[in-house]
Amino acid sequence: MNQSTIILLASARKESETLEVVEKIFPAKNITCIDLLDEKISPYNYAHEYPSDDGFYTIIERCFDYKNIIFATPVYWYSMSGILKIFFDRLTGIVTVEKSLGRKLAGKKMALIALGTDPEIPPGFEIPFFSTAAYFNMQFLGFLYCCTKNKKHMNLSPERVNEFLKIFENK
C-alpha cells in the first residue's frame, strides 16, 4: 500500500502530534507525505485568480499519481484544521473551472487520520471527507481517530493501527 499512498498533513505546526501519529502508522517512511504548511495555498476566490506561487494545483496534480489519499488533521473546534479547510475549499476550482482535473480523482481511495483531545471523534467530523469522496466518485475507506489528551497513553495500539491499515487491502 505504501508506494501508492500520499498523505496530506494538515497541522498548524511543525513537529506536531499529527506528524508523530503518521510516523507511528507508517514507520518505514516510504510513503509520500506533503506537509501543507510547506506549501502556499491561497484561499478560494470566485474569480479563480491566484498568485503565481500558489501551490494548490501542484499538490492536487501530485495526488493523481497515487491510489490512496490520506488526510491527516488535528481536530480544531470540532472540525478539520484551517489549512485543510482552505485546501478543501480550493477543490471548488476543479469542479467548476478545471473540471478535467476533478474527474481525475474518480476511482481514488480516501481515508482520514484525525487527532483530538476528546475521547471520541466529534459527531459528524468525517462527513466532509465522506461527502467529498462521494462527490468526486472516490471511495471513502474510513478513518483512524487518536485521542491525544494523555500523550503518554494515546489510544494508538498496534491493533488499531493494523485495523486502519487493513482498510486499504482488497478494495
Per-residue pLDDT tens over the stretch 34-63: 999 999 999 999 999 999 999 999 999 999
* b/e code 90-115 from CB counts within 10 Å (16+ = b): bbebbeeeeeebbeebeebbbbbbbb
Task: Please name the residues in contact with 107: beta carbons below 8 A apart, sequence gap of 6 or more.
Answer: 137, 138, 139
Q: What's the whole-model pTM score?
A: 0.94
What are the boundaries of each domain within the chain? 2-166
Q: At 151, is the pLDDT very low, low, confident or very high (cuts 50, 70, 90)?
A: low
The CATH class of 2-166 is alpha beta
Q: Look up residue 147 and give its three cell numbers.
A: 485521542
For the cut 90, the answer to whether the pLDDT of residue 27 exceeds it is no
